[in-house]
Structure 1
């Protein structure tokens, strides 16, 4: 049966660090990751989206986590077509033209940075999150295919932010595209009823892995600050509504990652704990992470 792993989108977010979730003695860089990895079996490393880490950094990540732990690593913003500030590039690349040569160089350095996680068996997947401006069509499909070609031989997951990719009339074609690319479709949970709301489609496109990112249900999705877009406390009822889809993902993939991106404070960690408890109750023969919640609190 599939391993169903719960975690959060990042472990160094300022709101989480200042929330009190990390106890005294575990608030330095090493202590935070060791504490987190003792409570959850997967985490999204989102910092490479903003700046490329050194291989020495990711090697330390591997050393501070147990065997079987998973890092899902976001691709650098330049690789996914997001606006990228010069400061987000390595210093020696900031004056380069924004062309294919620069993309190749950034990809090479990103792959070098992630390699220690792959070597240690801790890489879950590369996560290519595309911007809302990437609407479906031949040019977009070619761009995604080009990204996949660069990442040939790596586990590769795709999150679209333009809702048309997962409209009912196009869902089958999008799933087929990703399956042909050997790319994991990332399902998302967002508020519904807004122009930018993402349909909650959850197809399995690779037998290796399925991923769901829970962004919260803020009415400000698609607008405002990060805190506006992602602030949400999941209720038990909201999370229970995902259980049938999680079961379907677990039936079709070897591993399922449920990642919580709702902020602020410790809301994501609390939601992950609640989802773990719900799954332990409803699918006892599938493997959710066995470690107890550090606080015993349910999601608010």
Structure 2
């Protein structure tokens, strides 16, 4: 997302028109998850406004529609994929094609995934998120998936929820996430030069920051190796997300001096009560 009910007056200007919200968000962060594309393919005109509001270094990780991954499971999806690829074309090489798979998609399905990945445009980066436990706990399943992804020059996107599930929920937002988010082991192995990580912390800033320390070290090592990682930081309520993203980036920069700083956001007038 690039807007949230808790952000106006803090991270974004108050009453900002919808067509300007991404531009304001891009002052805080240099990447965004395109989660809405999972539910509906946007119009090409809408995506053109996304491209216009962001600079050439801004990165979009856009999710392949659920009709392709969850409903059809890659069978007979030519029409849906043509529409999706045409819609996001204005983003060019800034768009990463993110294929999120359901928990039921297991090792026996990897072959069809490989065929799908190889048919994607050669000039688009590919990324895959799996949720079946065997990919994380069975060495043969891990090796099979890694080999398939490597053959398609695709990255494995880990969704690290280990910190979130260390203690029971203490808020309504945490209770909702507790029921919906996957419980999977932490994975820190990168397959390409542009790794992607999703990290879910807690509503507590202190717990979130303490929990991400392993990722600070991993991301800094990737930068020193010449990789360009993208890390998405979530909390159940996401109220502090932009500030947390900048804090994480600064912690990585302290360990990897070659990492460029994030852009400086425009000053925001504080929200008023009347």
TM-score of the pair, normalised by structure 2? 0.80
Q: Gaps spanning 5+ residues in structure 1: where?
A: 1-9, 85-97, 218-230, 296-300
4+ residue runs over 4 A deviation: 14-20, 192-196, 231-234, 292-295
Match of residue 198 from structure 1: 184
The one of 76, 80, 103 equivalent to 2:69 is 80
Q: Deviations over 1:224-283 (max 9, x none)?
A: xxxxxxx66453221222222213333456321011232314232232122012112222
Match of residue 33 from structure 1: 22
Partners of 1:242 and 1:183 in 2: CA distance: 21
Paired residues in the alignment total: 250
User: Does residue 1:115 correspond to 2:89, yes or no?
Assistant: yes
**Structure number with higher helix proportion:** 2
CA contact (8 A) 1:260 1:268 kept: yes
Partners of 2:42 and 2:2 in 1: CA distance: 15
Alignment of 1:159-238 (within 5 A): 159-167=129-137, 169-170=139-140, 171-191=142-162, 196-207=182-193, 209-216=194-201, 233=205, 234-238=207-211
* Higher RCO structure (Cα 8 Å, ≥6 apart): 1
TM-score of the pair, normalised by structure 1? 0.73
SS of match in other structure, 2:157: strand
User: Does residue 1:105 correspond to 2:94, yes or no?
Assistant: no
CA RMSD, 1 decimal: 2.8
Partners of 2:74 and 2:132 in 1: CA distance: 24
CA contact (8 A) 1:156 1:184 kept: yes
The one of 30, 43, 57 equivalent to 2:46 is 57
**267-276 vs 43-52, greater mean Cα deviation:** 267-276
Partners of 1:54 and 1:277 in 2: CA distance: 36
Q: CA deviation at 1:78?
A: 1.3
User: Does residue 1:42 correspond to 2:31, yes or no?
Assistant: yes
